[in-house]
Amino acid sequence: MNQKVAVLGTGKIGEALLSGMIRAGWAPADLVVTARRTERAAELRGRYGVESVGNAEAAKTADTLILAVKPQDMGALLDELGPHVAADRLVISAAAGIRTGFFEERLAEGIAVVRVMPNTPVLVDEGMSVISAGRRATETHLVRTEAIFQPVGKTLRVPEKHQDAATALSGSGPAYFYYLVEAMTDAGILLGLPRAQAHDLIVQSAIGAAVMLRDSGEHPVKLREAVTSPAGTTINAIRELEKHGVRAALLAALEAARDRSRELASGQ
Ligand SMILES: NC(=O)C1=CN([C@@H]2O[C@H](COP(=O)(O)OP(=O)(O)OC[C@H]3O[C@@H](n4cnc5c(N)ncnc54)[C@H](OP(=O)(O)O)[C@@H]3O)[C@@H](O)[C@H]2O)C=CC1
Ligand SMILES: O=C(O)[C@@H]1CCC=N1
């Protein structure tokens, strides 16, 4: 890989992607990062051996720019970058909500834009990155994008109209599972278990269930039925989940996340 990639705004997701690229074999010399604070830039240089530069310098030197600032900071970043991005560059946005048209309007004619929604499990090479081409992005640009995201998990191409939904499902998705683990661990405390044991029981159950979902090819209902013995314990718990509207709560929660992604598109 002799393309140079810059990560602009190397916070949580930017660093997760940077570490993934290094694990995947990218040479630190082919990677540059930008950060707003000098101490953060020094931390990244020390941790990964990459060069840290200003945003304009990154735009001039890298073939591919991954923009990973918050959606609310994207306008200011593009104002700074605009004059320095040459027409043959690929711009990849990891920001929730912001549409590819937002970049295309603010960057020089011809620049290809790809929108990607990754998630934090890219840190353990189990990410889910959902990819959409902007108006000027070609198959080659999509393949270049996949070369960055595939080594750190799965990728899926979707039409851009599905990006806000994908953000609600997989972009934010890990947080819902952490929330469930937290709540179920509390339940373990309620039932009298030490916190550390409750945590281990729930985390291992989550890992086992996730691997079965991925590897068995079975529908989740089938897998749940195999756990739910007649007149047993599980069905009592399921009855309570239904009574408390957990399924409806999840439908509403993901719809709210999708709606927030749409709002972010208009800079709110
Ligand atoms: N966290 C997640 O799970 C996911 C996040 N995303 C998207 O990724 C983007 C970043 O999110 P996240 O990593 O969580 O947020 P962070 O706040 O951790 O990262 C953003 C980083 O950008 C830096 N920054 C802001 N403006 C500039 C600038 N002009 N030049 C250089 N650096 C700048 C910030 O600096 P400072 O530290 O000084 O504020 C910060 O370090 C968002 O758009 C989000 O929607 C996408 C998928 C998943
Ligand atoms: O919460 C957020 O807005 C970001 C986008 C997806 C995950 N985290």
Would you state the pLDDT for residue 2? 61
Mutational test site, ligand 1, from 69, 149, 176, max ligand atoms within 8 Å of CB = 69
Contact 134, 108 (CB under 8 A): no
Q: What is the pTM of this model?
A: 0.96
Q: From the CA of 62, how far away is ligand 1's center (Å)? A: 19
Ligand 1: which of 17, 19, 73 to mutate, judged by most atoms within 8 Å of the beta carbon? 73
> Alpha-carbon torsion 220, 222, 223, 225, what sign?
positive
CA atoms within 13 A on the CB side of 116: 35
Say if ligand 2 is within 6 A of residue 10 CB.
no
Sheet containing 112-117: give its strands across.
Answer: 51-52, 31-34, 5-8, 64-67, 90-93, 112-117, 127-133, 153-157
Name the maximum alpha-carbon separation found in the chain.
69
Q: Is residue 268 over pLDDT 70? A: no
Pocket lining: 244 vs ligand 1, CB cutoff 6 Å: no
Summarised one tens digit per residue, pLDDT across range 66-79 is 999 999 999 999 99
Residue 117 one-letter amino acid: M
φ, ψ (nearest 5 deg) of residue 245: 70, 35
Distance 146 CA to ligand 1 centre (A): 21
pLDDT at 134: 98
Using one digit for the tens of pLDDT, what is the confidence trace for 168-191?
A: 999 999 999 999 999 999 999 999
CATH H-level, domain 5-158: superfamily: NAD(P)-binding Rossmann-like Domain (3.40.50.720)
Ligand nearest to the CA of 94: 1
Instruction: Decide: 163 in ligand 2 pocket, CB within 6 A.
Output: no
Which distant-in-sequence residues (6+ apart) come within 8 Å of 60 by Cβ? 84, 86
The reported pLDDT for the residue numbered 266 is: 81
> Residue whose CA is closest, atom 7 of ligand 2?
172
The per-residue pLDDT of the chain, averaged, comes to 96
Q: Where do the CATH 1.10.3730.10 domains begin and end in the chain? A: 173-264
| CATH 3.40.50.720 domain residues, the chain | 5-158
Residue 171 CB less than 6 A away from ligand 2: yes
CATH superfamily for domain 173-264: ProC C-terminal domain-like (1.10.3730.10)
Residue 248 C-alpha to ligand 2 middle, in angstroms? 22
Written as six digits, the tokens of 229 are 């013995």
